[in-house]
Amino acid sequence: MSAPATRRGLREQGAERFAVPDAAGSEARRRGAMSRAGRLVVDVLLWAAAIAGTICMVLVVLALTAQITLIMFRTGSMSPTIPAGSVAVVQQVPASEIAVGDVVTVDRPGDLPVTHRVTSVAPGESGEQRVLTMRGDANAADDPYSYTVESVRVVLFSVPGIATVIVALGDPVVLGGLTIAATALVVWAFWPRRARGATGVDS
């Protein structure tokens, strides 16, 4: 005849009965939390890639339709307004629309373009031409010669400190690495996963 059950014995039996399931449940919750955290990181990276892609497409459309492009400042002749290492958004406009005080980029045959502030505007030989005198904000005097132009690129706004990033992104090795990483991320995010507990056998 077995000994009568006591409250202590029943509690110990209950603890033994639920010890393993509780541990298994805790492990499952931990793995679930890690899975959710990983999914959140992937979602953030995918959104960042989507936003970057959208910005690139918008810039291409603007370049084709509104003649809006980017220029990088390698020197500090426009400091402190536009320091070296800045990137400016510029738009091609007729020279007749330029006024004193505008910051414009002028193309120079056989030399690099120059981006300075307009200090004077005079009529040219034709109705479309203008003769511009310009000066960098960091310079004490006007440029040594004037510029006869029919169109210029006027600076709409600038962002300091991102020229290095854009130059790095233009490197073939960096660009290739980013492409591979983005492809792997998309494949990993959308690769079909077998539901937990599935046997893989048709009934």
Q: Which amino acid is at 181?
A: A
pLDDT above 90 covers a percentage of the chain that reads 33
Separation of CA 4 from chain center: 74
Kindly state the average pLDDT of the residues 157-174: 72
Task: State pTM to two decimals.
Answer: 0.58
Q: Which of 9-18, 137-146, 164-173 has the lowest mean pLDDT?
A: 9-18
Q: What is the mean pLDDT of the chain?
A: 76
* Predicted pLDDT of residue 198: 46
* Predicted pLDDT of residue 202: 44
Domains in the chain: boundaries: 13-63, 68-159
123: tokens are: 């009529």
* pLDDT band at 37; cut points 50, 70, 90: confident
* pLDDT band at 41; cut points 50, 70, 90: confident
Q: Is the pLDDT of residue 199 over 50?
A: no
Please tell me the class of the 68-159 domain: mainly beta
By the 10 Å C-beta count (0-12 exposed, 13-18 middle, 19+ buried), 48 is classed as exposed
Q: Is the pLDDT of residue 201 over 50?
A: no
* Predicted pLDDT of residue 149: 94
* pLDDT band at 38; cut points 50, 70, 90: low
pLDDT above 70 covers a percentage of the chain that reads 55
* pLDDT band at 136; cut points 50, 70, 90: very high
Separation of CA 134 from chain center: 33
Residues recorded for the chain: 203
* pLDDT band at 197; cut points 50, 70, 90: very low
* Predicted pLDDT of residue 177: 65
β-bridge mates for residue 133, sequence order: 120
For the segment 60-110, what is each residue's pLDDT rounded down to a tens digit?
676 667 678 888 898 889 999 999 999 999 999 999 999 999 999 999 888
Sheet with strand 151-159: strands edge to edge:
68-72, 87-94, 151-159, 103-108, 111-123, 130-135, 147-149
